[in-house]
Structure 1
Amino acid sequence: MGCGTSVKTENQTKKSEKAIKAAVLIQRWYRFYTARLEMRRRYTLSIFQSIEYAEEQAQLQLSNFFTFMIDHFAQVNGPGPDLISDIVNCSREEQRQLEDYEVLEVPDSYDGPQISFPLTVSDTNTLLHGLKQEKQLHARYVLQLFHETHKFLKQMPNVVHISTSYSKELTICGDLHGKLDDLLLIFYKNGLPSPENPYLFNGDFVDRGKNSVEILIILFAFLLVYPNHLHLNRGNHEDPIMNMRYGFTKEIMQKYKNHGQKMLHLLEDIYSQLPLATIVDSKILILHGGIADTTDLDYLTSLKRGKYKSVLRPPKPQKHNKPNQNNTSSQNTMSGHKTDGSDECYSPALFSQSKGTHNMMVSTGLSRNSILEIHYLDSNIQMPDTELTATECEEWKQVVDILWSDPRNQNGCLPNSFRGGGCYFGPDVTAKLLDKYNLKMLIRSHECKEEGYEICHNGKVITIFSASNYYDEGSNRGAYLKLCPALAPRFVQYQVNKCTRKLTLHQRVSAVEDSAFRALQEKIYTHRSDLMKAFREHDPKETGRIFISEWALSMEAVLRLNLPWRTLRSRLAKINSDGTVEYLSCFEDLQIQQPVKEVQPNLIETLQRYRADLELVFNIIDKDHSGLISLEEFRQTWKFFSSHLHIDIDDETIDDLAHSIDSNKDGSIDFHEFLEAFRVVNKFDKK
């Protein structure tokens, strides 16, 4: 029996060893699998963010041209209608018309939410119910709501101080970006705003999503009902020029065609009166973007925020003598000061990398002598007639920094070259500011995070981002932050799931990853000519193959997206057994549909690359946002262009040009005709 028992024990031991080995192998495989998934999720988010920030930098660069248009078009146009400047400027007579919302009647056929002023809790419930059912609030109510909101915000300070009681928790929400489903989910999970349930929304309510106006309606309504228990900070997208690029202007003009322009004017005033920061219990600083090593909360408290309707467009300088050039020096290019330490201020105070900065011109091949040059902003270009004093520069820089900056792990403060505006601030910058003002923590938003939030700088900086599925379905969670009286943060995550609800984690990651790579491949294809030139510098014999290191260097030199190209190479190009890359394979799976016939391939790439910029120019010219440029709008615009370029063009020539662009001869110019006419070429191209 003893021998039998011994054999049995030995067999059990062997089985146990096999089971342990199997468990270890499964554990290793699972760890490897989850690590791979996590790596894929991270570089997918990096791809989306890199493309997003590259677009933002292009927007900041293009703002130079738009600022010139806005500042000078009225002078060219004389007493006639002002096509450009009325986008961001409003006369006193027009302002009185904007306030005259009472002349608008709500028809009996209107079946949307009915509200009355002053607003009550019942009105907010009516609004929520109606907007959930996708009912559109009548323009009369919207205009009055915006008007009342502006009146209230004018009374608010630049930096709001609030406190929590023993029984309250403050809920802090980050970027919503027009995603109404996220806001409704927050209210469902966390409850509606009330004296017992206060909220703070930290900017970027609009753009990108399709329901920006509905979000503003809800937030403004609760603000008027609970002025002491709902708080709003300004974000970098609360800006009319940003709205023209990222969708909100188009959204509001489509939803409120006849009254959209009035609403946009009112919103510009509202943007300029939104508080810049909030301090909770004298310990927690909350602002949208971040800080710089020069951020001064006392200075922020005293400046006149109302003149910053667009942070991308500096306020017009007061009449003054040129300041003494020895008064002030700047340690940061973002200040808008010259790097030699002089006081002369260059604007906007937005940084663009000198290497790889696009200096472009847009030309039309349909007129012999008509050439429009659009020079993209370079970091050292001074815009006409916007020379500011050192004081004005510093004031503007303070606002730019808190709306556009991002934290980083390294110490110091550097220009935010990735976004093109604000700065990167390190843990030492955070610690210095918190110590100076006896603060405990900085809460900010501005950046999409995979989990909806992120803690950095030794727990001193929290990023909160409330728009889930920001880049694509399943790309990220949203989150909000609960701040108790003890000031200990608690995070609540969520995700508005629709198509991805039934997918496994692997399937969700794969779907988002595929979407990110499609976006990246499209960007690669639009730079095909530049990339081929860079590749062939490493391939003088034209073998079609280069080393991986050369391929990665070429990709980064042309695209400047700061991505892990070696990691991504297997999804973007064919790799040979000898470790070389077949660089032609980068362009095999994508083809751009030509908007016009018989156009050179490199022109098609360029048109596609700058399509968003051209569409923005088109939308500015298209004053009534009908999707068509009338001949009168075209005539007014070209009078401005010809004056800017000092070209003498008579009305007959302009009309001939308009008719030549109008290829289908319907009396107006649509975007495809406009795109065919305006050809973007490299400024330094010998051709």
Structure 2
Amino acid sequence: MFLAPMVLVWDSSPVWVTNGLEQVLTISLFFTAHKYSRAVDLYTQAISLNSNNVVYWANRAFAHTKLEEYGSAIADATKAIEIDQRYVKGYYRRGAAFLAMGKFKEALKDFKQVAKIVPKDPDAMKKLRECEKAVQKIRFEEAIASDKIIVAETVDYQTIQVEPSYDGARIEGDLVTLPFIKTMMEDFKQQKKVHKRYAFQILLQVRKSLMALPSLVDISVPDNGQFTVCGDVHGQYYDLLNIFELNGLPSDENPYLFNGDFVDRGSFSVEVIFTLFAFKCLYPQGIYLARGNHESKSMNKIYGFEGEVKAKFNERMVELFAEVFCCLPLAHVLNGKVFVVHGGLFSTDGVKLSDIRGIDRFVEPPDEGLMCELLWSDPFNGLGRSPSKRGVAVAFGSDVTKRFLEENNLELIVRSHEVKEEGYQIEHDGKLITVFSAPNYCDQMGNKGAFIKFKAPDFKPDIKAFDAVPHPNVKAMAYANNLLSLLG
């Protein structure tokens, strides 16, 4: 049956595609509804009909940016620039994508080009100045980095006085207790802060605990024992409380693994991280924590955690958090069967578990190599490998997953790192599961959250999905860097 074309309008340029059997909508409605994947599909169809229209490439770049597919956004914006070297939005979209990746110097080059093409545009000049300031700050930090002392070695929490007016949770003595954690969690629920004395105490104690762990942690669950794996929480404290309501608090009898990206984006990251760290202090074998790509300085500087810690505490605590994040393990193996990692697999075959154990993880994540790929890689529907849509690490196919499992005598990979509509997705012939535990991500995506329960000895995944719960009127990204306004 022949169907008339529909007009999709975005950025004042019409896009003609056939609508198939789908509802006729404008592309602006897909953006309004946060259906960015559908917008990418429609622009892809438009590009197939007219690949020389710069607007199509730039608008698809914008949609990729919204999907956090920054590598694809850079590629599309670059194509727009190749077609028209004076197309301002091409440079603007590419600069915004570089910025989202924390590549400030590359972003600055594109924003300079924007200002060169439209030198009298006040908005362009303002954004250029903001980017210049960010680059100058980074250069200054790099210059003094070699002279920095280890903050953890300079903090003595016992000398910090607790004011008589403080009426929140207290640690009596040197040990974190369950009553303290429960009181602190209730205080957080009421938007009260834990005193900085106890905050520093938790950070120093969890750092000591994490430093003693290997980069790859082996976990043994006894027969009939259970184990829960959660994905990204991203500062959504009230959804974390809901997980505990649904599944019980962490304990030696009810152990959890939180698989990275505890912070950033959500505006209750401080509350999330202190809750998880406090439980780690109390139950070293009752809760395990893996590093995600957002447990890093570059991401925290952009996506809100740095700003939140400064607002609720101080700069010194920002630096201490960065030191603690560098102590987080990179992956876990459950009962010799299930490999759990935040991102995914590698750009080369033959990587053994012993190679992961041998990684020196006590650094900021590099831009390439095994550590980078563990934190940043994604699976894709296909075979082999391809460049990552994120512009970092690699996308890997089902054959790569199969070989890694066979070579390391494993049965399943569990990873996180990507928002999924149902809170999870099973891929690669059932050998790989993505789990994401931040429902209605960033207060706008409408997705469910999920966690996975395993029971020994068979260790078959039992996936539990859940909806978002209400939270106080503090929107996601409330503490994000002002530069994020450049994304659009």
Give the TM-score taking structure 1 as reference length: 0.50
Deviation at 1:402, TM superposition (A): 0.7
Q: What is the match of residue 403 of structure 2?
A: 432
Q: 3-state SS of the aligned residue for 2:168? A: coil
Deviation at 1:88, TM superposition (A): 6.1
Determine which of 449, 454, 466 is the counterpart of 1:494.
466
* Structure 1 residue identity aligned to 2:424: Y
Give the distance between the partners of 1:268 and 1:89, measured in 2 at CA: 15
Q: 3-state SS of the aligned residue for 1:189? A: helix
Check conservation: 2:242, 2:469, Cα contact below 8 A: no
Q: What is the match of residue 293 of structure 2?
A: 236
Q: What is the match of residue 630 of structure 1?
A: none
- In the alignment, structure 1 residue 442 sits paired with structure 2 residue 313: no
Q: What is the match of residue 287 of structure 1?
A: 341
* Structure 2 residue identity aligned to 1:221: A
Give the distance between the partners of 1:455 and 1:49, measured in 2 at CA: 23
Q: What is the match of residue 109 of structure 1?
A: 165
- In the alignment, structure 1 residue 263 sits paired with structure 2 residue 304: no
Determine which of 237, 241, 256 is the counterpart of 1:184.
241
Write the deviation string for residues 362-412 of structure 1: whole angstroms up to 9, x where unpaired: xxxxxxxxxxxxxxxxxxxxxxxxxxxxxxxxxxx0001110000001101
- In the alignment, structure 1 residue 142 sits paired with structure 2 residue 199: yes
Give the distance between the partners of 1:86 and 1:187, measured in 2 at CA: 44
Deviation at 1:219, TM superposition (A): 0.4
Alignment of 1:416-495 (within 5 A): 416=388, 418-473=389-444, 475-485=446-456, 486-495=458-467
Check conservation: 1:449, 1:465, Cα contact below 8 A: yes
Determine which of 298, 302, 306 is the counterpart of 2:358.
302
Determine which of 376, 386, 397 is the counterpart of 1:414.
386
Q: What is the match of residue 330 of structure 2?
A: 276
Q: 3-state SS of the aligned residue for 2:447? A: coil
Q: 3-state SS of the aligned residue for 1:273? A: coil
Write the deviation string for residues 522-559 of structure 1: whole angstroms up to 9, x where unpaired: xxxxxxxxxxxxxxxxxxxxxxxxxxxxxxxxxxxxxx
Q: What is the match of residue 508 of structure 1?
A: none
Cα distance change, pair 88–182 in 1 and its aligned pair in 2 (3 A)? farther
Deviation at 1:50, TM superposition (A): 4.4
Aligned length: 371
Alignment of 1:224-623 (within 5 A): 224-256=281-313, 260-294=314-348, 295-306=351-362, 308=363, 310-311=364-365, 314=366, 348-349=367-368, 397-416=369-388, 418-473=389-444, 475-485=446-456, 486-498=458-470, 612=483
Give the TM-score taking structure 2 as reference length: 0.70
Q: 3-state SS of the aligned residue for 1:434? A: helix
- In the alignment, structure 1 residue 195 sits paired with structure 2 residue 249: no
Give the distance between the partners of 1:137 and 1:235, measured in 2 at CA: 25
Give the distance between the partners of 2:228 and 2:187, measured in 1 at CA: 24
Give the distance between the partners of 2:268 and 2:420, measured in 1 at CA: 21
Deviation at 1:498, TM superposition (A): 4.2
Check conservation: 2:347, 2:393, Cα contact below 8 A: no
Give the distance between the partners of 2:243 and 2:104, measured in 1 at CA: 35
Q: 3-state SS of the aligned residue for 1:458? A: helix
Deviation at 1:248, TM superposition (A): 0.6
Deviation at 1:122, TM superposition (A): 1.7
Write the deviation string for residues 169-197 of structure 1: whole angstroms up to 9, x where unpaired: 11100000000011000000100011111
Q: What is the match of residue 186 of structure 2?
A: 129
Give the distance between the partners of 1:305 and 1:155, measured in 2 at CA: 12
Give the distance between the partners of 2:38 and 2:355, measured in 1 at CA: 35
Cα distance change, pair 90–108 in 1 and its aligned pair in 2 (3 A)? farther
* Structure 2 residue identity aligned to 1:273: C
Write the deviation string for residues 408-442 of structure 1: whole angstroms up to 9, x where unpaired: 011011221x2111100000000000000010000
Q: What is the match of residue 60 of structure 1?
A: 101
Q: What is the match of residue 74 of structure 2?
A: none
Write the deviation string for residues 41-66 of structure 1: whole angstroms up to 9, x where unpaired: 89445557641333665333625579
Deviation at 1:129, TM superposition (A): 1.8
Write the deviation string for residues 150-187 of structure 1: whole angstroms up to 9, x where unpaired: 11111001100012122321110000000001100000
How many percent of aligned residue pairs carry the same amino acid?
Answer: 37
Q: What is the match of residue 84 of structure 1?
A: 141
Give the distance between the partners of 1:615 and 1:43, measured in 2 at CA: 20
Deviation at 1:479, TM superposition (A): 0.6
Q: 3-state SS of the aligned residue for 2:228? A: strand
Q: 3-state SS of the aligned residue for 1:172? A: strand
* Structure 2 residue identity aligned to 1:437: N
Name structure 2 gaps, 5 residues minimum: 1-20, 40-62, 71-95, 108-135, 472-480
Check conservation: 1:207, 1:243, Cα contact below 8 A: yes
* Structure 2 residue identity aligned to 1:290: G
What's the Cα RMSD here? 3.1
Check conservation: 1:57, 1:420, Cα contact below 8 A: no
Q: Which has the larger radius of gyration?
A: 1
Cα distance change, pair 288–105 in 1 and its aligned pair in 2 (3 A)? same
User: 52-61 vs 154-163, which deviates more?
Assistant: 52-61
- In the alignment, structure 1 residue 175 sits paired with structure 2 residue 232: yes
Give the distance between the partners of 1:222 and 1:57, measured in 2 at CA: 36
Q: 3-state SS of the aligned residue for 1:196? A: coil
Give the distance between the partners of 2:304 and 2:200, measured in 1 at CA: 20
Cα distance change, pair 140–90 in 1 and its aligned pair in 2 (3 A)? farther
Deviation at 1:94, TM superposition (A): 5.3
